[in-house]
Amino acid sequence: MDENIKQWISQEKNSRSKKIKKILSKMDIKIWDKKIDPDHQNFPFDVEEITGAGYICLECKNKNNFNGEFHIYRLYNKEDNEWDFESEMLVPVCIECYECGSNNIIIEYRPNWAFSVFKDGDDCYHLTLISNKILINFEDSEGYFKLFGQLGCNKDMRNNSSSIMNEMAEWELNDWDSINSDTNAVVVRITTKNGMEQNEEGIYDASGTYKFVEIGS
């Protein structure tokens, strides 16, 4: 790579870094790392339910609308030969601001404390804010166990959550005739594009486009 281009890239990174620090200072938000919190008093991995604002775009301060790729998880139960679900959990896979298109997004998990979203090399890379204002580390062995708990799955399904996720199969939504008649509960994962919104109760799918559906039990 040409030295002039390298120098320009370096200058752009430094300029962007200074801009972000200035924005964070105005918002009175600290990005967590070991240097500023050596005693882990505000360690994000110790937080289950956030008390901060959640997803925030650092470029335009949008907190309400986001694009990207998301997974919708639903627990369907069969009662009297009818399948239905009571609630769903939204899990971001990649995310950008709906208003300005920036992927410079943070999660404020406690007032004035945040971490960057899906930033390569960051300590919090695998920590994800899902529906109900819940933080889950999906690299942790209990990540999907916690997700299944939020869905309302029974103990057996929670204990087998990793296996169920590994054995997810493509499925046509609402094709209940394809399911074994002895099965009474299934987890459905719907991959969606765009349409995430956030309010005081957390994130949810408002207008996402369904791209792919999988099922496991």
pLDDT tens by residue, the chain, 217 residues: 566 554 544 444 444 555 666 666 677 799 998 899 999 999 999 999 999 999 999 999 999 999 999 999 999 999 998 999 988 999 999 999 999 999 999 999 999 999 999 887 788 888 999 999 999 999 998 999 999 999 999 999 999 999 999 999 999 999 999 998 899 999 999 999 999 999 999 999 999 999 999 999 8
Give me the pLDDT at residue 9, please.
Answer: 41
Does the CA dihedral 169-174-176-182 come out positive or negative? positive
CA distance 167 to 164: 5
CA distance 151 to 166: 18
Give me the pLDDT at residue 119, please.
Answer: 81
CA distance 96 to 69: 9
CA distance 189 to 194: 16
Give me the pLDDT at residue 18, please.
Answer: 57
DSSP letter at 29? -
| Nearest-5° Cα angle at 71, 211 to 107 | 130
Does the CA dihedral 151-155-158-160 come out positive or negative? negative
Give me the pLDDT at residue 6, please.
Answer: 47
Give me the pLDDT at residue 17, please.
Answer: 55
Q: pTM of the entire structure?
A: 0.88
Closest CA to 205 of 51, 92, 55, 109: 92
Q: In degrees rounded to 5, what are phi and psi of residue 75?
A: -100, 115
